[in-house]
Amino acid sequence: MNLRKKIRKPWIKLIRIRRDLIGNAIDMFGGLRRAEHIFMVLAAILIGILGAFGAIGFRYLIKASQEIFFRTW
């Protein structure tokens, strides 16, 4: 019986420490607002779309410059 009490006290301490660490992590990372995530997702989508149009425009610019400067007469 005495051995159980000796084992139980440190075990309860470890459980409390774990609970406190998990609670602190939830408080720290849970403080990020959902609106910030939505803004970042929308900004990433917008940047991706603009980058795609920029790549397409750049390809057309290359084709146009080849037609202008290297056209065979």
What is the full per-residue pLDDT of the chain (73 aa) written as tens digits?
Answer: 566 666 677 777 878 887 888 877 777 666 656 667 788 889 999 999 999 999 999 999 999 999 988 886 5
Q: Which whole-number Å values give the CA distances from 26 to 38, 53, 55, in the listed order?
A: 20, 40, 41
The per-residue pLDDT for 16 is: 83
Q: What is the pTM of this model?
A: 0.48
Beta strands in 1-73 (DSSP E): none
Asked whether residue 47 falls in the same domain as residue 57, the answer is yes
Q: How far apart are CA 17 and CA 20, in angstroms?
A: 5
DSSP letter (8 states) at residue 51: H
Q: Which domain holds residue 24?
A: 1-31
11 plus 23 within the same structural domain: yes
Specify whether 37 is located in the same domain as 71: yes
The whole-angstrom separation of Cα 40 and Cα 46 is 10
Residue type, 45: I
| Same-domain pairing of 11 and 44 | no
Number of separate domains in the chain: 2
Are 39 and 23 found together in one domain?
Answer: no
